[in-house]
Structure 1
Amino acid sequence: MVAAGVSVPLPAPLPTLHLVDASLYVFRAWHSMPADGFHDADGWPTNAVHGFARFLLDLLERERPRHIAIAFDEALDSCFRNALYPAYKANRDPAPAELKRQFAYCKSLCVALGLPVLAHREYEADDLIGSALVQVRALGFRGVIVSADKDLSQLLATHDEQWDLARGVRWGAAGVKARQGVHAHQVADFLALSGDAVDNIPGVPGIGSKTAAVLLAHFGSLDALLERIDEVAFLRFRGAAQAAVRLREHRAQALLCRQLSTVVLDAPIDDATAPFVRGNGDAGTLVALADAVGFGPMTRRRLHAAAGLADAQDAPQHVGSVP
C-alpha cells in the first residue's frame, strides 16, 4: 500500500513513432485540388504535390515528431497479393502519368526534409507501416498511424493510436469496435467475411457487414467460426441457415480473403533504420524542388523551417535539379 499523502510518480509516456500513409494524402490532394495554376517547369500538373506539402507541413508543425516514417505505395501493380488473387484492386483505374510524376515529387520532398521514407515494389504502404510498428514496439515505442484507412486499425495495440488528420479524429484499439463493429484484432477476419469493395476483395457471398460482425462476436475469430461451422445454422439471426451453407461452400475463399486483408508484419525493412529518427534536411534539393513545382514564398519558408534549415529567403536559388 502507498501511505497517505505520498505521491506516486506516473510512468513516463512511451516514445512515439508517427507512421504516415502518404499515398492516401497524395490521392486526396489530387482529387480535391484543381490542377489549374499548379504546374512544374515542363507544364505537368503539381496540384497533388502542393496539397501533400500542406498536409505534411501541418503534421510536422503540430506534432513536431522526432521519430517518423513516411510510407508510399510502389506496389500498385506488383504486390504479392496480385499473385495470390489477380483481381486484387483490379477495379481501380491505373494511376495516370500526371499523378505518377507527382508521387515522385512527393517522395523527393520527404527525403529533402530529412524524413525516413518506406517503399517497396512487392509490399503496400500498409505492410510497411505494420512492419515498422512491430520493429519499434520491441524498442519500447508506441505508434500513431496517420491515415483514415480502416484496414490499418487491425494494427492498433493498447498504446497505439490512429489519426485521421484531415477530420481531426483520433482513436485507439478500444475505439475500433464503435467505428467498425468489431475489435481491432478481428478487422482482417471481418473483411474476409464481408469483403472490401475498395480493394476488390469479394469476401463470402451473402455475408454482409452486420452478419460478419454477429458471427465474430459469437465465435471470436474466423478460424473458430470455420471449426464450429455446424453451429451457425442454430444462431438466432435472420438467414443463419443460409449463412452456414455459404460458409461451407466458400471456406477456401474466406481464408484467401483473410490473407489479402491481413497487414504483413515482416515486410523487408532495414533494421538499422529503426526507430526512424528524423534527420537533417537538404537545402539544395529542397530549393530545386520548390523551384520545379512552383512553391510560393510562404510554403518555402515553412519547408525550410521544417527541415531545420535557414529561412528560404536566405537559401540559394536554382542550385540543382530534383533527383
Structure 2
Amino acid sequence: MPGLMLLDTPSLYFRAFYGIPESMTAPDGMPVNAVRGLIDMIATLVRGHSPDEIVACMDADWRPAFRVAAIPSYKAHRVATGHQEEVPDTLVPQVPVIEQVLDAVGIARVGVPGYEADDVIGTYTARAAGEVEIVTGDRDLFQLVNDDQPCRVLYTIKGIRNLQVIDEAEVSAKYGIPGRAYADFATLRGDPSDGLPGVPGVGDKTAAALVTRFGSLDAMLKAIDEGVTDGFPAGSRLKLGKARDYLAVAPAVVKVAHDAPLPEVSIARPSAPRDPERLVALADRYGLDNPLNRLLATLAP
C-alpha cells in the first residue's frame, strides 16, 4: 500500500526504550537502546510497506495549552516539574540523537509549536490526496481511520513485526461502534492514561451503545434537548445531562487537530542520506553502524 506513512515518533521511541535493554550502549557507555530500536523500526516499516512519503511526527508540545485550558487534568499526572513531561533519565539524552539521525538520513521530522504529534498526524492525514498509514501504539489515533481515503492505523501493540491493522471494520469489531466514531466513544468513556474523566457512570458498553444508537455525541445531546426517549435509557440521559459542562469542552481535547500549521518540507522518502558526513559522525559517536546500514539498505532504490 504505497502512499504516505506517518510515524507517531514519541510512541515508537518509548516502545523501543522499554523493549530493548539499556545495556545497548554507545562506545562511551551512554544508553542508545531507544535510538537503535527506532532506527530498526523504521527500516522494518519501509521494507514491509514501501511508502512513497514518510514523516516522523514529533511532539513540539506534549501538553498543549488549548487542551489544558479545556480540561486542566489533561496529562497532569505525567508532569515532572513545570511543563516538563516525566521521562526516564536515560531516555532524555537519546531524543536529540534521534532527531539528529532523522535529519541526517533525510526523513522529514515535523513538530508544530503548540501541538502534539497526534495533531501533526491528523493534519497530514486531512491534507493527503491518497492512501495513509499511521504507525502508533496510541488508540487515540483510531479516530482517523477512514476506509474511503483509505487511512488505516498500523497498531504496534504486538510489536513492529506483528502490526495490527486497524481499519473501520476492526474498530467496529473491537469496540462495537461505527468505524469512524472512536473520538466520541473515547470522550464518553474517558481515558485515565490521559487524565480525561469521561462521563461518570458511562463505561465502554454504555458508550458503545449510545454511539451506535445516535451516531455522534452531538446527536445524543440534541436528543436530550428534544426529549427523545426511544432507545435512550433514562439513566444514560441523566448521566449525560449532568456532564454537559464536560461534554462541551472534551471534544476539543480528544479530537486531533486537522489544521495545525505544517511547515513546507519535503516528505518524500529519501533514497540516500541527506548529510552523509554527519551520519557517519553520528554512527561513530553512538555506535550505530549496523542499524543505520540496515535502514539505508531499505531506503536505497
TM-score between the two structures when normalised by the length of structure 2: 0.86
Give the conservation status (yes or no) of the 8 Å contact 1:126–1:152. yes
1:263 corresponds, among 251, 256, 261, to 256
Q: Counterpart of 1:286 in structure 2: which amino acid?
A: L
Once residues 149 and 54 of structure 1 are traced to their aligned partners in structure 2, the CA distance between those partners, rounded to angstroms, is: 20
How big is the shift at 1:308? 4.1
Change (3 A) 1:32 1:144: same
Q: Counterpart of 2:251 in structure 1: which amino acid?
A: R
Partner of 2:47: 61
How big is the shift at 1:127? 0.7
1:185 correspondence with 2:180: yes
Q: Counterpart of 1:256 in structure 2: which amino acid?
A: V
- Residues 209-266 of structure 1 show CA distances to partners (whole Å, capped at 9, x for unaligned) of 1101111111111111011126576637xxx333222211111202322221101100
User: Helix, strand or coil for the counterpart of 1:216?
Assistant: helix
Once residues 88 and 60 of structure 2 are traced to their aligned partners in structure 1, the CA distance between those partners, rounded to angstroms, is: 14
Give the conservation status (yes or no) of the 8 Å contact 2:46–2:299. no
Once residues 224 and 245 of structure 2 are traced to their aligned partners in structure 1, the CA distance between those partners, rounded to angstroms, is: 13
TM-score between the two structures when normalised by the length of structure 1: 0.81
Q: Which runs of 5+ in 2 are unaligned?
A: 80-85
Q: Counterpart of 2:97 in structure 1: which amino acid?
A: Y
Q: Counterpart of 1:269 in structure 2: which amino acid?
A: L
Identity among equivalent positions (%) equals: 34
User: Helix, strand or coil for the counterpart of 1:127?
Assistant: helix
Give the conservation status (yes or no) of the 8 Å contact 1:195–1:257. no
Q: Who wins on radius of gyration, i.e. which is larger?
A: 1
Give the conservation status (yes or no) of the 8 Å contact 1:112–1:285. yes
User: Helix, strand or coil for the counterpart of 1:192?
Assistant: helix
Q: Counterpart of 1:267 in structure 2: which amino acid?
A: A
How many matched pairs?
A: 286
Change (3 A) 1:257 1:307: same
Give the conservation status (yes or no) of the 8 Å contact 2:144–2:152. no
- Residues 254-311 of structure 1 show CA distances to partners (whole Å, capped at 9, x for unaligned) of 23222211011001103x436x21234121121121122222x4324223434549xx
1:129 correspondence with 2:121: yes
Partner of 1:28: 15
Once residues 146 and 32 of structure 1 are traced to their aligned partners in structure 2, the CA distance between those partners, rounded to angstroms, is: 17
How do residues 1-323 of structure 1 correspond to structure 2 at under 5 angstroms?
Answer: 16-39=3-26, 41=28, 43-92=29-78, 94-137=86-129, 141-157=130-146, 158=148, 159-164=150-155, 166=160, 167-229=162-224, 235=231, 240-270=233-263, 272-273=264-265, 276-279=267-270, 280-281=272-273, 282-295=275-288, 297-306=289-298, 308=300
Q: Which runs of 5+ in 1 are unaligned?
A: 1-12, 310-323
How big is the shift at 1:194? 0.6
RMSD over equivalenced CA pairs, Å: 2.3
Once residues 290 and 142 of structure 1 are traced to their aligned partners in structure 2, the CA distance between those partners, rounded to angstroms, is: 33
Change (3 A) 1:74 1:177: same
